[in-house]
Amino acid sequence: MAEENVEGTEENPAPPPKKGSSNLLVTILVVVNTLLIGAIGYFQKTTMDKMEAQESIHDVVTAAMKEYEKSEDQAPEFGIAKEGEGKYLVLEGFTANLAQGDGPRRFIRLNLVLKFTPDSNEEEYKNRRHQIRDTIISLLNSKRPEDLLISEGKSFLKEEMRSAINTFLIDGKILDVFYTGFQIN
- Residue pLDDT, tens place only, 84-105: 577 888 888 888 888 876 677 8
Specify the number of domains making up the chain.
Answer: 1
In this predicted structure, the answer to whether residue 171 has a pLDDT above a threshold of 70 is: yes
- Domain holding 74, by residue range, is 70-184
In a domain, 140, yes or no: yes
In a domain, 160, yes or no: yes
| CA 170 to the chain's CA centroid | 40
Average pLDDT estimate for 1-20: 55
Q: For residues 123 and 171, give the distance between their C-alpha atoms in angstroms, rounded to a whole number.
A: 10
In a domain, 102, yes or no: yes
Which amino acid is located at 172 in the chain? G
What is the domain-level CATH number for residue 88?
Answer: 3.30.479.30
In a domain, 37, yes or no: no
pTM listed for this prediction? 0.53
Check residue 80 and give its pLDDT.
41
* 70-74, 94-98, 161-165: least confidently modelled range: 70-74
* 41-45, 61-65, 92-96, 147-151: least confidently modelled range: 61-65
In this predicted structure, the answer to whether residue 69 has a pLDDT above a threshold of 80 is: no
CB under 8 Å, gap of 24 or more: what pairs does 162-169 form?
164/135, 164/139, 165/114, 165/132, 165/135, 165/136, 168/128, 168/131, 168/135, 169/120, 169/124, 169/128
In a domain, 148, yes or no: yes
In a domain, 25, yes or no: no
In a domain, 53, yes or no: no
CA distances from 141 to 41, 122, 153, 158 (A): 58, 27, 14, 14
The strand pair at 87-90 and 79-80 is best described as antiparallel
Average pLDDT estimate for 76-86: 52
